[in-house]
């Protein structure tokens, strides 16, 4: 039966975990899960900041259309 740590990794990956991960301790699996979480979080943070600041460089006349495509109100 899969441990809760392994299930968390699979949930984050959106895929089955490599079979070799079964060799890891619960503590190591927890650290891996945290590392995956941190990587996703860092990417999301960058994306949010970038989307907002991008608009500053868009010519005023195009800003509305770009906002619409980006899904920003």
Partner 1 sequence: MSALQHRAELERLARVLGTGRDRLAYLEALDPATLKQLRERSTAMLYDADRDSLQRIASAARLLPSAIIALIAEKSLGPLLCARIAGLMAVDTAVDVAKRLPTPFLADVCVELDPRRAKAVIDGIPVARVVEVSLELARRREYMTMGRFVDILGIDALAAVIARLPDNAALLKISFYAEDRARLNRVIEKLPAARFGGIIDAALKNDGVLWPEALALIGELEPRWRRRFGEIVLTRDAAGIARIIAVSDAQSLWPALMPLADAVEDEHAVACLHAALREQKPALLKRMLAAADTHGSRMLERLATREWPAALRALLTTARAK
Task: Kindly list the residues in this chain that would bind partner 1 in the complex (CB under 8 A).
Answer: 12-15, 17-21, 23-25, 27-28, 31-32, 35-36, 38-40, 42-44, 46-47, 50-51, 53-54, 56-59, 62, 65-66, 69-71
Which residue lies nearer to partner 1 by CB, 1 or 64?
64
Asked if 31 and 21 touch (Cβ cutoff 8 Å), the reply is no
CB of 11 to partner 1, least distance (A): 10
Q: What is 2-69 written as a DSSP string?
A: --HHHHHHHHHHTSPPPGGGGGS-HHHHHHHHHHHHHHHHHHHHHHHHHHHHHGGGS-HHHHHHHHHH
Nearer to partner 1, 4 or 38 (CB): 38
């Amino acid at each position: 039966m899969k441990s809760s740590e392994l299930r968390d990794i699979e949930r984050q990956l959106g895929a089955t975990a490599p079979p070799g991960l079964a060799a890891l301790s619960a503590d190591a699996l927890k650290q891996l899960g945290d590392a995956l979480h941190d990587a996703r979080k860092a990417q999301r943070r960058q994306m949010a900041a970038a989307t907002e600041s991008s608009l500053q460089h868009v010519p005023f006349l195009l800003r509305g259309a770009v906002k619409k495509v980006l899904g920003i109100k």
